[in-house]
Structures are given as C-alpha cells and as structure tokens.
Amino acid sequence: MTSVEQGKLSLLVSADDEVAANGPFSVDVTGTPDDGEKINATITVSPGEPLDLNYGPGSYTFVIAGRTVEETVYAQAESTVEFDGAHDQTVSLVVQVDDEATKALADQRAAEEATRAQAEAEAQARAQAEAEAQARAQAEAERQRAEAAAPSQTNERTVYITRTGEKYHESWCSSLRKSKIPISLSEAEAQGYEPCKNCH
Ligand SMILES: [Zn+2]
C-alpha cells in the first residue's frame, strides 16, 4: 500500500417532524483535531442535505439546541464522533419532538388560559354587581326625591307587580325579569299585594 487513504467527515441533519424539517438548523461544533487549533464554531445546516466538513482527524461534538416552535418542543440533538481521517464518516443528527415537554407545555398553557378565563369571569361578575348596586342606589335616590317632592302622596308612588305573583316590587328587583306591570302602591295594597322580601 503506497497511497494514503483520505476520508472526509460530513454532517447530516434530519428531522422526524414536518415543522422541524423546515430548518435550517444552527449546529454548534466543538472539536479537538489531532493536530491544530481547537474548533468552536456554529454552522448552519439544511436538513436532508449532507454537508462536507473540512475537518482533519480528531474528536468532534455536534449539538443542535432544543427549541420550541409554536406548540411543539424539540429535544436537543447531540452527537460525538471520533474521526480517524482515513474513511468517510457521516455524523447524523436527528431533531426529535420531545413528547413529554410538548405535553407539559400544552398543560401549562391550558392552565394559564383557565386562570385567565377565571379572572375575566370574576371581573365581569364584579362589574355586574357594581352596576346593580348603582342602579339600586339610583332608584332609591329617585324614590326619596319623589317622596320629598310629594310627601302627601307617598302611597301613590309606583311599584311593580308581575302577571302571576302576589308581591309588589321596586323597579330594580330581579323578580321583574318576566313581567313588570306598574301600579300605585295604594292600589297594590288594596288588591292584596304584599311587599317582596327581596326588594323591601
Ligand atoms: Zn321584589
């Protein structure tokens, strides 16, 4: 044997997932050639296309950092090769979905969404309660104004009855959702209506 065999080192990145396969990927390379400077580089590699590396014999480690794309978490891919320089060698890096981390991310986002929705519902309930209290206070103020303006006609103030109930109500009472028939207080009392406990 007189001729020296010359091998080359190449890198092949592949992915087990369509989204990840859209690459390209940044690959961090650290290496110690048998002779020469240490290598510490970042190279860009498109998946499915072998990339020839100009490295001499030595030990090299290739890393694609883990990352999250939308709702999918990809695990870190790492491979170390001892390159003898005599034979062609291909380093293979496979970018894979990290199922556990992807599920954890989905759970976390669902929990965040639930918390957000709950806070929104609570804020809505608070706003509604405030609006009701305000309407109630306003109705009471109006009633007092009317009473003050016409003290002799107190019993002529308007209350509300429903089509089927036996109580009379203030205008803001929640019992009036289905029907709301105005009637004077004295008339209501004359007809046997009694004050509703909810609004009186
Ligand atoms: Zn009522």
How much is the pLDDT for 148?
A: 76
Q: Please tell me the distance between residue 190's alpha carbon and the centre of ligand 1 in angstroms.
A: 18
Helices (DSSP H) in the chain: which residue ranges?
18-21, 99-149, 185-190
Distance between Cα 172 and ligand 1 center (Å): 8
pLDDT score of 67: 87
pLDDT score, position 5? 60
Ligand 1 centre to CA of 134 (Å) is 17
182 Cα: distance to centroid of ligand 1 (angstroms): 13
Distance between CA atoms of residues 184 and 192, nearest Å: 13
Q: Give the pLDDT of the chain (200 residues) as one tens digit per residue.
A: 444 568 999 999 988 776 666 778 899 999 999 888 899 999 999 888 899 998 999 999 999 999 888 888 889 999 999 999 889 999 999 988 999 999 999 999 999 999 999 999 999 999 999 999 999 999 999 888 887 776 555 568 899 999 999 999 999 999 998 899 999 999 999 999 999 999 88
Position 21 scores a pLDDT of 63
Quote the pLDDT of residue 200. Answer: 84
CA-nearest of 4, 3, 94, 12 to 53 is 12
CA of 162 to the centre of ligand 1 (A): 10
Sign of the C-alpha dihedral computed for residues 143, 146, 148 and 154 taken in this order: negative
Q: What distance in angstroms lies between residue 121's CA and the mean position of ligand 1's atoms?
A: 27
Retrieve residue 11's tokens: 């890198």
**165 CA from centroid of ligand 1 (Å):** 10
Domains and CATH numbers, the chain: 9-101 (2.60.40.1120), 135-200 (3.40.10)
